[in-house]
Amino acid sequence: MKRRFRQSSYFPCKIETLQQDLFTDFFNSSPDLASKTVNVEGQKALIIYMDYLVREEEVYNHITSKVQGAKQLDYQTIESEVPVTDIMELKTLNEIGGALIEGYVCVYIEKEKHCIVIPVPRIDQRKPAKAETESLIFGPQISFSDSIDVNMNFIHKRLDTKTLTAEKFIIGDKIPSEVRLIYLSDIANDEAVQEMRSRLNSLQVDDVLDSSALTQYVEDNSYSIFPQFLVTELPDRFCYSLKEGRVGLLVDKSPTAVIAPVSFLSFFQTTEDIYTRWNMGSFIRLMRLVGMFLSIILTPLYVAALTYHYEIIPDALLVSLGHSRSRVPFPPLLEALILEFLIELIREAGARLPTKVGQTMGIVGGIVVGQAVVQAGFTSNILIIIVALSALASFTAPSYLMGSAIRILRFPLIILAGFWGFIGIMFSFAFISIHLIRQRSLNFPYFVPIYPFQPRDFDNSFIRLPFLWSYKRAYSNRPKKIRRFKKPNR
Amino acid sequence: MQNNRKITLLIVGLLSMMIIPSCSHSKDVIEKLGVVSAYGFDQNEEQVLEGTTVLYQFNPDITNASQIIHSTGSTFNMVRSNANKKSGYKIVNGKLQTLLFGPTIAKKGVFPYLDTIERDAAISDMLYVTISEEPARDILSASNYEEAPNIGVYLNRLVDTAVLDEKIVSSKFHEFMRDYLQVGREPLVPIISIKQNKAAIEEVGIMQGDSHVGSFSMKEIFFVRLLREEFNEGRLDLELETKPFQDYIKEYQGDNREDKMFIVIDQLQNNSKINLTNVDHLTYEVDVSIHGRIVEMSQRMNLDKAAPLRKLEEEIDKKIKKNLEAVVKKAQQVNADVFGFGVKYNNRTRGEELTREQWQDLFPNIEVDFNVSTEIKRFGIVQ
Amino acid sequence: MPENLNIPDHKKLKAIYLVIVLHTMQIGVGIAGHPRVVFLESGRDSFISILIAAIALHIVIACIVYVLRSFDGQDLHGILAQFFGKWFGKLITFLFIIYFFLLFISVLVNYIEFVHAFIFPDMSSWFISLCLLSLVLYAVLGGVRVAVGACIVFFFGSVWMFGLLIEPITYIQYDNYLPMFEASPRELMSGALKTSYTIIGFELLWFLYPYLKDKNKVHRYSQLAMSLTILSVLFITFVSIGFYSNNQLEDKIWPLLSTIKIISFPMFERFDIVTVALWMIIILPNLILFCWMTSMSAKRVFGGKENYYMITVCSLAFIAHYFFDSRYNVNFFTNYVGQAGVIFGFVVPILLVPFAMYYRRKGAKQHAKQS
């Protein structure tokens, strides 16, 4: 029976047979398969489609009525009457079934050797919404939608259409999804494009859930805690990265896009830094980096200092720290772990609950629990400040994935600091540095511009210089054209 | 590639295994520590060291954040461990800020008790070495120590403020050891005394090596400091004869009421240079140039004119010179070269290192000439 | 003729990395004790000793580059094998392997000494070495690019610590430098010899050379690295002599670390503890690259995969550091390794120069014949 789907000599057949075969075998007796038999001067034709996948009104107006009103039933008449392009001729049952799922309407005239399918897909898509996870204060605020066509539309609007290249890949054996590899052919590095192409081609998975899942299939080192590709929901960020010479991926049904190759520092940059003036952008960028550093190091420092290195605590703090610590029954390590865990709990609960409840959660968690915890002598009040500060700092990372990575990274650091003091902290910092040096993103170095040392890229990495100074693309992406515009003569 | 991954995993596995045995390594959790802020040392008749340990006290219910323990022993560390017998906290020295030696030890020599402070890396080099004329135990028992958590911190603040105000010569442990080990320059340490249940610095002790041999008053120490170090914004009170200014003062007062006038100079900066002019006879010439601003004069004269100003500067020069000579004489009497004349001598004699004994023979006989030049740069908003 | 090292172009490194890599290789544990060691020999004239060592160093670097240039893209083993034949060359390289391994251990045990003296007197030394060795392995197994990258990142992570010396500078007593020019030439020379242990590490150039991209700039950059090292050594010695009185300096085992004891920040009242922990990233480049050098040469001598040699080196070091558990042993050992450094680091390159000259002339003759 299966063979029947693929055989090309299925046609000609009786209309009833075709209808029956599709209904029982292909669509498992789905109640949504709508069909209509039309009889014109003794010739019979079948119109068949999935009712929730097509725009039914247009099917009635432009197909059914045209077929019924035709003087003579043949495909040429129908094709000329029906005001739709992209009409295809199909010969096997398998192809027909596939087309019906994609929102085609199938028309078969009895005794013909093939049938035609007319695309009238219904696309229920969200309106372009405001960006949620990567919201900006200043600058364009829309985010990608979950349809690849709309997203391509966004991108095309923003980018030079002549060199914008999109390659189509179908990934997923079981549930195929469309993936687009997008780059600017005159800027993007060929090696990067080729590498991404070959990774996509060699990818053998049953299904791609989302672009972030695709990222995990194709990234360089799956063991690392750090994301190696940038997943963004902002079309402007995506386009900016393409213009910098990077390569992008769009996945159908996914409201986020993927950018590669990226460096560690690009996870701390936003397009907002570029929209705002350079000095403000630089300040905010540096602040984010300092924030990340503080977020990682503050709690471990507290634990290490209180467990082993009381010498470094300033006199003024020593007494108040000693006072509040003297009531706490746990060692500093456990104290810090408990509080960090509590903060993570509040964050997770706030994220899972509906927005209104989530806000209440934040208040309850932040104020009530925090206050009670200190009053009950559960933790010292200075630790509350430190943990809150580092939680706050970790949320400044513009990329959600990087922010989470930093938050998780804190736990091993706290444990190491609790066991070996400063030696433990230094050990973990050395380990993280070596780890970052070892990472690659799409075979490009991840820790650029620190290593490979690229001082020419400093204009737009740690800080952002005014465009007068920063008129080149980042060397580390090795774009084909390094200069964005001629240096203004001023 | 695959191989590398395995090795990485192996390393990670090993690391996590290491956590288990390392738990045993000893912790100094802050609330279980008796953090020492000051030690006081005396010696009783049986030559036994009597230590007074000042601890921080971490208990929110007790307003007094300090605890004092008395113990005896023959070494620094024995005193500490004996003190620990009387305390439920582990006594640690990492935040030691002040060392106070009572008269019994200060007269004999403090160096034997400083060894562990230099040897133990946990102890800061920035603590102050001080001595006292009364037993250290009494000084540390003073109960008025302002807002400081305990007397040790208070003493540290007391000395620190005086040093920052350029009232005394700094005697941080590092500086004490530097001068002690330097042949030809002796250390100076503040002498803590007790006034109305409150510790104060009244004098500065002259050390010959590590033993206390004499004292400078706070007035004298200014002139010692003038030779040893540079002032950034020093302050000098002088008492001058009114006689030389008779004519100038008349403008304001008609006739002379006092035969002494007081003058205060601040924002004082100096540059002192010790030159060894004759190596064989050990004659030194010291050029001291001072400039500063007058903030107070008990007799007014018109300083806007050149003549009175020059006269005033001249008289100040004379006065300073007289004081400097007195200070050097005093040091020579106790035979402790706190100025560093010996260093200059040693720098001039090539090839042989000066020994302490040699310099102690030579120092009382050196001759010092002073050339003082004062410049009054400003004198406020009146003439 | 030994097999040539054919390094593909995209795996090569920029020559400018030499400035930092060679410098970080030279600065390590030695620098912490160096001011005293030189002072004990040549007193207040230590800076002359250092300058003598500096001149020797620059000459030796010139020799190394000259020899390396005579053979395009060979490392030390390749050159030795070409001069002395396959077996004798292997023997000499083997001596070098042992020397590098001893250097590796001396850095390791000296750092363990620091930690014991300054932070954790009771932390087990096997644990510290396990920590360090696992980091070394993790870096070295990533290949030479990661090893060099770690050096560069750690250099930037630690170079700011020179700024810490600003406060000690305010304590300097200029009398301590006088009288100058008192030391005898003999004392000056032995001071220079003592300096050699501190500035060892430039041997890396022998091995890194084939991995470098623009070879004509190698000489310039390596000389620059040497000057950088010498300047830092001079600066640290200058501060130490001024900061301590002469007798005091003779007592301090690690004058540099003791100097930092006076530094305090509002949030870190005692910075020396932080510094000793931070010292880890100053010595890690040494360990990483010594491990790489040892295993690379071992691979050249014995064949096989370098990964296994790296693991072997680290495991052997882990076992070996047990023999140096007291200050006396460490000192004794370090002294001997320093003396070996004079031979392997300074003498060997100069000895190789005549061979290289002969080789060049021969090459020129052959070239003339052919054309």
CA distance B98 to B376: 38
Supply the DSSP string of B109-131, one letter for each residue. -SGGGTHHHHH-TTS-TTPEEEE
Element (H, E) at A383: helix A381-394
Q: Which of A74-78, B354-358, C240-244 has the lowest mean pLDDT?
A: A74-78
Condensed to tens digits (0 to 9), the pLDDT of residues C109-157 reads 999 988 998 888 888 888 888 889 999 999 999 889 999 999 999 999 9
A59 and A87 co-located in one domain = yes
B190 and B294 co-located in one domain = no
Token pair listed for C85: 């034949």
DSSP class of residue A63 equals I
CB B36 within 8 A of CB B81: no
A255 and A289 co-located in one domain = no
Is residue A78, in this structure, part of any structural domain at all? yes
From chain A, the residues in CB contact with B31 under 8 A are 322, 325-326, 328
Instruction: Please give the angle made by the CA atoms of A104, A106 and A107, to the nearest 5 degrees.
Output: 145
Condensed to tens digits (0 to 9), the pLDDT of residues B1-43 reads 456 667 777 777 776 666 555 555 667 888 888 899 999 999 9
Residue from B4, B58, B98 whose CB has the most chain A CBs within 10 Å, to mutate: B58
Token pair listed for A94: 């398998």
Sign of CA pseudo-dihedral A198, A203, A204, A208: negative
B153 and B173 co-located in one domain = yes
Condensed to tens digits (0 to 9), the pLDDT of residues A30-54 reads 788 888 888 887 788 888 888 888 8
CA distance A37 to A107: 10
CA distance A353 to A236: 30
Q: Which of B245-259, B355-369, C192-206 has the lowest mean pLDDT?
A: B245-259
Confidence of residue B177 (pLDDT cuts 50, 70, 90): very high
Indicate the number of domains in chain B. Answer: 2
Mean pLDDT of C346-358: 89
Q: What percentage of chain B reaches a pLDDT higher than 90?
A: 27
Dihedral Cα C125, C128, C129, C134, nearest 10 deg: 160
A394 and A290 co-located in one domain = yes
Distance from CA of A298 to the nearest CA of B (A): 17
Please report the pLDDT score of residue C370 as a whole number: 65
A304 and A155 co-located in one domain = no
**Nearest residue of chain A to residue B56 (CA atoms):** A319
B362 and B290 co-located in one domain = yes
Token pair listed for B208: 């010959």
Mean pLDDT of C208-217: 88
Question: From the list C124, C134, C173, which residue is nearest B11 (CB)?
Answer: C134
A358 and A214 co-located in one domain = no
Task: Select from B199, B224, B249 the last residue of a domain.
Answer: B224
From chain C, the residues in CB contact with A425 under 8 A are 277
Task: Select from A406, A421, A444 the last residue of a domain.
Answer: A444
Query: Is B30's CB within 8 Å of A321's CB?
Result: yes
Q: Which domains does chain C have, with CATH numbers?
A: 9-361 (1.20.1740.10)
Distance from CA of B153 to the nearest CA of A (A): 8
Mean pLDDT of A161-172: 88
Task: Select from A426, A444, A462 the last residue of a domain.
Answer: A444
Is residue B9, in this structure, part of any structural domain at all? no
Please report the pLDDT score of residue A132 as a whole number: 81
Please report the pLDDT score of residue B16 as a whole number: 66
Confidence of residue C243 (pLDDT cuts 50, 70, 90): very high
B345 and B260 co-located in one domain = yes
Window 185-224 of A: residues touching B by CB (8 A cutoff) are 223
CA distance B215 to B188: 9
Task: Select from A444, A464, A482 the last residue of a domain.
Answer: A444
Q: What percentage of chain A reaches a pLDDT higher than 70?
A: 97
Is residue A64, in this structure, part of any structural domain at all? yes
A249 and A300 co-located in one domain = no
Please report the pLDDT score of residue C2 as a whole number: 44
Query: Is A433's CB within 8 Å of C153's CB?
Result: yes
Phi-psi region of B357 (alpha: psi -120 to 50; beta: other; left: phi over 0): alpha
Mean pLDDT of C43-49: 90
Count the Cβ atoms, other than its own, within 10 Å of residue B380.
11
Mean pLDDT (chain C) is: 88
Please report the pLDDT score of residue A411 as a whole number: 93
Confidence of residue A114 (pLDDT cuts 50, 70, 90): confident
CA distance B32 to B18: 26
Q: Which of C341, C344, C299 is nearest to C107 (CA)?
A: C341
Confidence of residue B62 (pLDDT cuts 50, 70, 90): low
Is residue A54, in this structure, part of any structural domain at all? yes
Q: Is the pLDDT higher at B252 or at C205?
A: C205
Asked, as a colleague might, if the bond just before A452 is cis with ω within 30 of 0, I would say: yes
Is residue B2, in this structure, part of any structural domain at all? no
CB A287 within 8 A of CB A396: yes
Q: Give yes or no for residue C5 having a pLDDT over 70.
A: no
Task: Select from B171, B197, B224 the last residue of a domain.
Answer: B224
Confidence of residue A1 (pLDDT cuts 50, 70, 90): very low
Task: Select from B163, B192, B224 the last residue of a domain.
Answer: B224
Which amino acid, residue A194?
Q
Considering A473-477, B303-307, C281-285, C351-355, the range whose residues carry the highest mean pLDDT is C281-285
Confidence of residue A194 (pLDDT cuts 50, 70, 90): very high
CA distance B354 to B282: 14
Question: From the list C123, C178, C248, which residue is nearest B181 (CB)?
Answer: C248
Condensed to tens digits (0 to 9), the pLDDT of residues C324-342 reads 878 888 888 888 888 888 8
How far, rounded to the nearest angstrom, does the alpha carbon of residue A412 sit from its chain's CA centroid? 27
Please report the pLDDT score of residue B2 as a whole number: 52
Please report the pLDDT score of residue C371 as a whole number: 55
Domain that holds residue B331: 230-378
Mean pLDDT of C211-238: 92
Is residue A487, in this structure, part of any structural domain at all? no
Mean pLDDT of B308-313: 88
Which amino acid, residue A261?
P
Q: In this predicted complex, what is the ipTM? A: 0.93
Is residue A483, in this structure, part of any structural domain at all? no
Q: Give yes or no for residue B221 having a pLDDT over 50.
A: yes
Q: Give yes or no for residue C1 having a pLDDT over 50.
A: no
Please report the pLDDT score of residue A441 as a whole number: 92
- For chain B, strand residue ranges (E) read 33-43, 49-56, 66-73, 90-92, 98-101, 128-132, 188-195, 198-208, 211-217, 234-241, 260-278, 283-297, 367-378
Q: Give yes or no for residue A250 having a pLDDT over 90.
A: yes
Mean pLDDT of C304-313: 89
B207 and B128 co-located in one domain = yes
Domain that holds residue A307: 280-444
CA distance A130 to A383: 36
CATH of the domain at B258: 3.30.300.210
Q: Strands A115-119 and B260-278, how do they pair?
A: unpaired
Q: Is the pLDDT higher at C170 or at B2?
A: C170
B173 and B319 co-located in one domain = no
Q: Give yes or no for residue A5 having a pLDDT over 60.
A: no
Query: Is C115's CB within 8 Å of A423's CB?
Result: yes
CA distance A330 to A378: 8
Is residue B120, in this structure, part of any structural domain at all? yes
Mean pLDDT (chain A) is: 86
Give the three-state DSSP class for B44: coil
B122 and B215 co-located in one domain = yes
A298 and A397 co-located in one domain = yes
Token pair listed for B74: 């023959």
CA distance A252 to A245: 23
CA distance B147 to B144: 9
Count the Cβ atoms, other than its own, within 10 Å of residue B356.
14
B146 and B206 co-located in one domain = yes
A305 and A438 co-located in one domain = yes
Residue from C118, C119, C262 whose CB has the most chain B CBs within 10 Å, to mutate: C262
Indicate the number of domains in chain A. Answer: 3
Q: Give yes or no for residue A192 having a pLDDT over 90.
A: yes
Q: What percentage of chain A reaches a pLDDT higher than 90?
A: 31
Please report the pLDDT score of residue A435 as a whole number: 94
Q: Give yes or no for residue A433 having a pLDDT over 90.
A: yes
Supply the DSSP string of C269-333, one letter for each residue. S-HHHHHHHHHHHHHHHHHHHHHHHHHHHHHHHH-S-HHHHHHHHHHHHHHHGGG--SHHHHHHH
Is residue A135, in this structure, part of any structural domain at all? no
Q: Which of A22-36, A233-247, B39-53, B257-271 has the lowest mean pLDDT?
A: A22-36
Is residue A489, in this structure, part of any structural domain at all? no
B110 and B166 co-located in one domain = yes
From chain A, the residues in CB contact with B28 under 8 A are 307-310
Q: Measured between CB atoms, does A308 come within 8 Å of chain B?
A: yes
B66 and B176 co-located in one domain = yes
CA distance B371 to B270: 13
A155 and A58 co-located in one domain = no
Q: Is the pLDDT higher at A133 or at C276?
A: C276
Q: Give yes or no for residue A300 having a pLDDT over 90.
A: yes
